[in-house]
Amino acid sequence: MPATYHHGLHRYSLVLLACTFLLLIAGALVTSNDAALAVPDWPLSYGTLTPPMVGGIFYEHSHRVIAAAIGFLMILLAVWTWRAESRRWVRWLSLAALGAVILQGVLGGLTVLLNLHYGMPIAHACLAQIFFGAIMGMALFTSRWWISEQPAIPDSGSPSIHTFALVNAAAVFLQVILGAGFRHKSMPIWPHIIGAFVVAATITWTALTLRHRFGNVREMKLARILINAVFGLQFMLGVAAWASRLMTVDAPQPLPAVVALTVIHTVTGALTFACSLLVVMLCYRMVPRSREAALAPARTGAAIS
């Protein structure tokens, strides 16, 4: 049974994606302003839903309010998807995303109640990126482009482009973990620095492979340009954020310039991971895997005719 394009569901997924990006910014502001324990209780804030919005309380409580709103919007998306979508795997993805946002809320609470111990801040930060990737997937999978017929593009290279894309996404996510570990003072900076060069290598490797094998495919070209541009920006922001920290190491509190650079660096890291997932999704959508390769010529001919 062919999938049906639901304009409203796709637009709603895009809105939720934008709201989730706002949540990532709010979370980065909490960490960058050292406000993670500005509110010592959970789920309420100083025993109320309306604490005084001063100092670090403003960042921490605002983060909680936005997170609660995202949770409500995610419930609506999951219900809508189960009612409208004929593709079972898309319905289960929406349910998995709902489970992720619930778990994310629990991890956020444990992060506070356990005083930032036991790796809870790192788990909380990394799950946020996974959730962001899942919502990006929902927005892509419900789009008209994904549902419409696409020509199958053969891949005669080895390893397959799917392998390149998956290895790259795994490397980027490992860098997300290392970055979260450093930001939350659980590990030194040097693993994150090494990770940055590893990611530079995997992204360059993947981009060159996309250019060599699929240089004339519009979607692959756009994905290659996007991931290169976002990572290039991320790398430069990382250098600037680290330099700003070194220059203000004796400051009694994080300075606005340091906070701004750190927040932008963090959310651009989330975009880098999302772009790496986008490459994976495009490869699996457009390039037949080995067991499907025999059917590719027939599908391509049907699409062109």
Does residue 291 register a pLDDT over 60?
Answer: no
DSSP 48: B
- pLDDT, position 246: 85
Nearest-5° Cα angle at 191, 267 to 258: 40
Does residue 305 register a pLDDT over 50?
Answer: no
Give, rounded to a whole angstrom, the gap between the first and last alpha carbons of the chain. Answer: 22
Residue 56 makes CB contacts below 8 A (sequence gap 6+) with: 30, 33, 34, 35, 38, 39
Q: What is the radius of gyration, based on Cα positions, of the chain?
A: 21
Residue found by looking up tokens 């005719």 in the block: 305
Q: Do residues 29 and 59 make contact, with C-beta atoms less than 8 angstroms apart?
A: yes
- pLDDT, position 296: 46
Tell me the C-alpha distance between 203 and 223, whole Å.
11
Q: From 89, 70, 284, 92, select the one nearest 169 (Cα to Cα).
A: 284
- pLDDT, position 248: 83
Instruction: Report domain extents, the chain.
Output: 7-149, 159-289
Beta-bridge partners for 48: 45
Alpha helices by DSSP H, listed for 215-255, are 218-247
* φ/ψ (deg, to 5) at 45: -115, 110
- pLDDT, position 304: 38
Tell me the C-alpha distance between 176 and 131, whole Å.
13
Q: Do residues 36 and 60 make contact, with C-beta atoms less than 8 angstroms apart?
A: yes
Residue range 123-150, pLDDT digits in tens = 999 999 999 999 999 999 999 999 998 8
Residue range 161-195, pLDDT digits in tens = 999 999 999 999 999 999 999 988 889 999 999 99
Averaged pLDDT score across all residues of the chain: 90
Q: What is the pTM of this model?
A: 0.90
Residue 96 makes CB contacts below 8 A (sequence gap 6+) with: 134
Q: Do residues 164 and 204 make contact, with C-beta atoms less than 8 angstroms apart?
A: no
Residue 193 makes CB contacts below 8 A (sequence gap 6+) with: none
Tell me the C-alpha distance between 272 and 256, whole Å.
24
Between residues 293 and 248, the one the model is more confident about: 248
Residue range 18-60, pLDDT digits in tens = 999 999 999 999 999 988 889 999 999 999 999 999 989 999 9
- pLDDT, position 249: 77
Residue range 235-276, pLDDT digits in tens = 999 999 989 888 887 777 778 888 999 999 999 999 999 999
Q: Do residues 42 and 109 make contact, with C-beta atoms less than 8 angstroms apart?
A: yes
Q: Do residues 55 and 39 make contact, with C-beta atoms less than 8 angstroms apart?
A: no
Two tokens at 163?
């392998």
Find the length of the chain: 305
